[in-house]
Amino acid sequence: KAGVTQTPRYLIKTRGQQVTLSCSPISGHRSVSWYQQTPGQGLQFLFEYFSETQRNKGNFPGRFSGRQFSNSRSEMNVSTLELGDSALYLCASSSAGGENIQYFGAGTRLSVL
Amino acid sequence: QKEVEQNSGPLSVPEGAIASLNCTYSDRGSQSFFWYRQYSGKSPELIMSIYSNGDKEDGRFTAQLNKASQYVSLLIRDSQPSDSATYLCAVRRAAGNKLTFGGGTRVLVKP
């Protein structure tokens, strides 16, 4: 069974640009959550999508948005990039049933110059 | 006060010894508790999950939960150099899928 796939693995952008990150969950998983990891703030929850609906949202500005498609794949968009958005962005999928364990993808490392 | 607190370390242990990691949380609504291991430059991988008070063992790992004290711990027995990593404690409320993470404890196992 394939794991969580995130693309691209690395991105370099400049301030003011926007970026879209993609996440394909484990087959059969309907919940996709996004996290931001930085050395200073650690791992922080961005939002969760389930059945194409945002079910939970963390404390991030509106520049951070996401969506989920009918095949459970999810995208995350960051507009008007700031230097502080440089981070590892992690996607996690879960079955939303049973123990509801979240499995993480390899992440997308975003550098904003 | 952070919602989930961990000692950042590094926790240095000799090979073969027991590594003891601690985590405290502030949200009494937390129902599920997880330990993830993260190697440098990699993504977190699940080590243990625990949901009720007491101990849960899986191989060389034992998780302990005390909801009254809002405390969860992880013991690593017979520590190996390959256990050198950052261990992240995460908690989740009953509703929703949001994981709240501690800052992680860096563990160094010296041969």
Nearest-CA residue of chain A relative to B46? A103
Q: Is B83 helix (H, G, I), strand (E, B) or coil?
A: helix
Average pLDDT for chain A? 95
Give the tens place of pLDDT for each residue, A15-62: 999 999 999 999 999 999 999 999 999 999 999 999 999 999 999 999
Residue with tokens 């590594």: B19
Residue A104: alpha-carbon gap to chain centroid: 10
pLDDT > 80? residue A1: no
Q: Is residue A31 a contact partner of residue A95, using CB atoms and an 8 Å limit? A: yes
- CA-CA distance, B60 to B77, in Å (whole number)? 5
pLDDT of residue B1: 72
pLDDT of residue B60: 98
Residues of chain B in contact with residue A48, where contact means CB-CB under 8 angstroms, are 96-98
Q: Is residue B89 a contact partner of residue B34, using CB atoms and an 8 Å limit? A: yes
Residue with tokens 């899928």: B97
Say yes or no for a CB contact (<8 Å) between A104 and B32: no
Residues of chain B in contact with residue A105, where contact means CB-CB under 8 angstroms, are 43
Percent share of chain A, pLDDT over 70 = 99
- CA-CA distance, B53 to B62, in Å (whole number)? 13
Segment B82-85 long-range contacts (CB within 8 Å, at least 24 positions apart): B82/B109, B83/B19, B83/B37, B83/B107, B83/B109, B84/B108, B84/B109, B85/B37, B85/B38, B85/B39, B85/B40
Peptide bond connecting B10 to the previous residue in cis, omega within 30 degrees of 0: yes
Task: Print burial letters for B49-82: b (CB count within 10 Å at least 16), e (below 16).
Answer: bbeeeeeeeeeebbbbbeeeebebbbbbeebeee
User: Is B87 in CB contact (< 8 Å) with chain A?
Assistant: no
pLDDT of residue B96: 76
pLDDT of residue B97: 85
Residue B17 to chain A, least CA–CA distance (Å): 28
Which residues of chain B are under the pLDDT cut of 50? none
- CA-CA distance, A38 to B9, in Å (whole number)? 17
